[in-house]
Homo-oligomer: A and B are copies of this chain.
Amino acid sequence: MASRHLTGILGVRYPIVSGGMAWCSGARLAAAVSAAGGLGLIGGGSMDAELLRHHIRKARGLTGLPVGVNIPMTFRQTPELVEVCLDEQVPVIFTSAGNPRRYTRVFQDAGARVFHVVSTPAQAGKAEQAGVDGVVAEGFEAGGHLAHEELTTMVLVPEVAEKVSCPVLAAGGIATGRQMAAALALGAAGVQIGTRFALTEESAAHPAYKQLCLQAGYDSTRAVFKKNVPMRMLHNAFRDQISEAESRGASAEQMLALLGEGRPRRGMFEGDLDEGVLEIGQVTGMIQDLPPAAEVIRSLVAGYNHARADLSPLDA
């Protein structure tokens, strides 16, 4: 079974990874997920080297189980974040947004496992050629940065599973055990879950942002910045400005100027609900509570087993 192979690689009980989300995934969330049997990731993308080291050590103080780190490959501070992870001997690294060739071997030579986040089958093929231990196939329904191809989890996961022989984690639109069962039926060995863990007690995000996500309906998120790197975000005053500019035919340069600097921090960490960028997945419309991460894991496992048992065979 693919999921057993995966749990062996990750050193965890359940094939469930919490995404390394900027401004949400600090030591508390990552440690809580790992302590409950999944793999918790610290989101390196919103940290400098010193802060990342602090969170890695803090997570170790909270659980003896493995905790991983997500590092975007394209950031100014990427080399320093890589150094910290090597130095701290982080056992599992998830790389995203960039070339997987850059650091995969470096981490593996230091004894770590490396997973790379992809949004197309072609990117999955490149990641496998770079020698990764597995890939995360992230569909268009996910929060935050997306690909222009807009492949949904339903289409992307089987295409990636067909393309590569390494384990595939499905991501995008997965918040319940039913959705986890669907992901595994599609050929994934496990799941990486963002939004559901962003909306937990231990998530580091600002309480006002969490509350706004809880109030969100099915129509609250949209993918915008389609001339730049597309991004899924919650409706707010700033997203209205973006949509208006896009509707007018604003150029990629004008859109970048409108985005400016630091808006995700303002929105998700400082709680500026009007002017900040509020990244969240489409599945936020289904979520109405802020449980502890361990309860999310229990509910995913129970829901998965229930959905699985509910599938009757068809007479061939």
Q: Name which of A18-26, A263-271, A300-308 contacts chain B.
A: A300-308
Q: Which of A248-280 contact B (CB under 8 A)?
A: 248-250
- Binding stretch for chain B, among A53-61, A91-99, A144-152: A144-152
In the bound complex, CA of A14 to CA of B301 (Å): 29
The reply to whether A152 and B178 contact each other, CB–CB distance below 8 Å, is no
Asked if residues B315 and A184 are in contact (CB atoms below 8 Å), the reply is no
* Cβ contact of A178, chosen from B13, B186, B247, B310, cutoff 8 A: B186
The answer on a CB contact under 8 Å between B314 and A155 is no
A68 at the interface (CB under 8 A from B): no
> Taking A179-B154, A218-B149, A223-B150 as contacts, is the C-beta distance between A185 and B247 under 8 angstroms?
no
Chain B residues with Cβ under 8 A from A178's Cβ?
Answer: 158, 185-187
Contacts of A301 in B (CB 8 A): 314, 316
Asked if B151 contacts A154 (CB within 8 A), the reply is no
In contact, B311 and A311 (Cβ under 8 angstroms): yes
Contacting residues of chain A (129-188) with chain B, CB-CB under 8 angstroms:
139-141, 149-156, 158-159, 162, 172-174, 176, 178-179, 181-187
**A305 CB contact (under 8 Å) in B139, B307, B314:** B314
A64 at the interface (CB under 8 A from B): no
Please determine whether B158 and A139 come into contact, CB atoms closer than 8 angstroms.
no
B residues in contact with A34, CB < 8 Å: none
Proximity bits, A278-310, B CB within 8 Å = 1, else 0: 000011011000000000001001101101111
Contact: B282 with A155, CB < 8 Å? yes
Residues of B within 8 A of A139 (CB): 152, 154
A286 neighbours in B (Cβ, 8 Å): 155, 158-159, 162
For the complex, what is the distance from the CA of A184 to the CA of B155, rounded to whole Å?
15
Q: Which residues of B contact A227 (CB under 8 A)?
A: 247
CB closest residue in chain B, given A2: B310
A46 CB, nearest partner CB in chain B, Å? 25
For the complex, what is the distance from the CA of A183 to the CA of B227, rounded to whole Å? 32
Provide the bound-state CA to CA distance between A307 and B184, in Å.
9
Distance in angstroms from A259 CB to nearest chain B CB is 18
- Please tell me if A219 contacts chain B, counting CB pairs below 8 Å: yes
A-B pairs, top 3 by smallest CB distance, nearest first, are A249-B249, A154-B173, A182-B182
A-B contact pairs, 19 of them (CB 8 A): A3-B312, A14-B314, A122-B218, A141-B152, A149-B219, A150-B223, A154-B154, A154-B172, A154-B283, A156-B218, A158-B176, A178-B187, A185-B310, A185-B311, A302-B316, A305-B313, A305-B316, A308-B311, A309-B313
